[in-house]
Amino acid sequence: MSASVLIADDHPLTRSALSALLGQHGFDVVGEAGDGRAAVDEARRLQPDLVLLDLSMPQVDGLQALPQLREAAPRCEVVVLTASGTEENLLAAIRGGAAGYLLKTEPPDKLIAFLHGVSRGEAALSGSVARRLLETVREGGHGGVPDSVASQLSAREVEVLLLLDEHLSTEEIALRLFISEHTVRSHVKSLLRKLGVSSRREACELLTVARR
């Protein structure tokens, strides 16, 4: 079954091009919106699997719309697609619950691959954005996760690990990050495999040792 997508961008030509591209690669574009307010309304009505969200939009911009989208369609994943790769916007989007942050300079094939990954519960970050986030993590932007740990994980997995370290349950992590419990379990399984441990407790112990 193909993933349903809502495209939110204030440029009609961009929406049209994205709709055609996604339709050619197995996605079902169920709606479009030209501003953040309309995006929230459409997300509430359509309950899509994915929302492809521009940041620079009239009335309500993408960052303002993000938490509203998560509330309007709790089971959807929001992927930011923007021309802005600033650290401020990147961190604000991730903290707002975005499952991905992609730049509009991404080649079409990479964009499609990223979106398929998000549909499987993975995070999606453009290369330059991922490097910038990793630098922030190294500097303590995510609670001082050491590079020896952070470099092995995706941005979302770092967030999940930190919440595990706060002794949050799967349900509590899902609520905090505005993602499904199934997606949380997928991230936990992935980070345990990458860190070479078999339990959440062991992952937290590894993090504690790495911080020393």
CATH code (residue 199):
1.10.10.10
Asked if residue 58 and residue 150 are part of one domain, the reply reads no
Same domain, 65 and 121: yes
pLDDT at 141 over 50: no
Residue 111 belongs to domain with CATH number: 3.40.50.2300
Q: What is the pLDDT of residue 4?
A: 96
pTM summary value: 0.65
Does 39 share its domain with 86? yes
Q: Do both 127 and 156 map to the same domain?
A: no
Sorting pLDDT into bands at 50, 70 and 90, what band is 124?
confident
pLDDT for residue 30: 97
User: 117 and 152: one domain?
Assistant: no
- 154 within 8 A of 186, measured Cβ to Cβ: no
Q: Which of 34, 139, 130, 129 is nearest to 84 (CA)?
A: 129
Q: Which of 107, 134, 161 is the last residue of a domain?
A: 134
Residue 103's Cβ-count burial label (10 Å; 0-12, 13-18, 19+) is middle
Last residue of a domain, one of 70, 99, 134: 134
- Domain identity same for 130 and 145: no
Tally of CB atoms within 10 A around 37: 16
Instruction: Compute CA distances 127 → 123, 136, 202, 207, whole Å.
Output: 12, 14, 30, 25
pLDDT band at 185 (very low <50, low <70, confident <90, very high): very high
What range does the domain containing 164 cover? 141-211
Q: Do residues 177 and 157 both lie within one domain? A: yes
Domain count, the chain: 2
The whole-angstrom separation of Cα 102 and Cα 117 is 13
